[in-house]
Amino acid sequence: MSRQYWSETITWATASGTPVTNTTTETIIFPNITIPANYMQDGRNVRLRAFGQWSTGTGPPTLIFGLRWGGVAGTLLCKTAACTLVASVTAAAWDLDILLSTRTNGSSGTIMANGVASVFAGVAGTVASATGEGLLTPMTNGGVLTPAAATCDLTVDTALSLTATWSASSTSHTLTGLNYTLESMN
């Protein structure tokens, strides 16, 4: 039997996020997105796409992207492992593509969230060479390994938070979200 579904953009950025800089604390990249109570029903799929830029000073830091249900201190849905960046880069690009799938709904609902983070180098890439090569890494509940569903209360309005964490505090280490969309896939 055929099922008919539609795709709809349910929210998007109208301005760049506040830069995440000079901190080693997990910090929200864009203002929280509020997911309405009971929106995440069984089988609901939501896709988050986000883009931005990053810069570093001396000493290559690491960076972790995360997605949380319930604000920066909420339940971890997925994250990257620590991505080792290069030093002295200015305004290079990054992007994320994350799919959230509701496995079960209710006050003890479960969401399986998996995605891919791409962090590009500050120079143009060269075919068949590592020059300017970007970093591509999975986002799962376990970091890179052990994808698992997260248990969340899906019966209340809840903040969805995209975060970043630097390994070293420096005014030169800056990450800014430029745009995002949150799309309901069904």
Note the pLDDT of residue 35. Answer: 96
Residue 142, pLDDT score: 77
Residue 26 domain-assigned (yes or no): yes
Average pLDDT, the chain: 91
pLDDT at residue 1 greater than cutoff 60: no
Per-residue pLDDT band for 101 (boundaries 50, 70, 90) equals: very high
Residue 130 pLDDT exceeds 90: no
The answer to the question of residue 62 being in a domain is yes
Q: What is the pLDDT of residue 145?
A: 79
Cβ contacts of 45 within 8 Å, gap of 6 or more: 99, 100, 101, 102, 184, 185, 186
DSSP-derived secondary structure for 18-78 = PPEES--S-EESSPPEEEPTT-S-TT-EEEEEEEEEEE--SS--EEEEEEEESSTTSEEEE
80 falls in which pLDDT band (50, 70, 90)? very high
In a domain, 2, yes or no: no
Residue 128: the pLDDT is 61
3 inside domain: no
Domain tally, the chain? 1
The pLDDT score that the predictor gives to residue 126 is 63
The residue segments making up the domain with residue 139 are: 9-184
- Report if residue 51 sits inside a domain: yes
Residue 1 lies in a domain: no
Measured between alpha carbons, how far is residue 26 from residues 8, 42, 80, 159, 175 in Å?
A: 30, 30, 13, 15, 12
Domain presence at residue 4: no
CB–CB of 107/83 below 8 Å? no
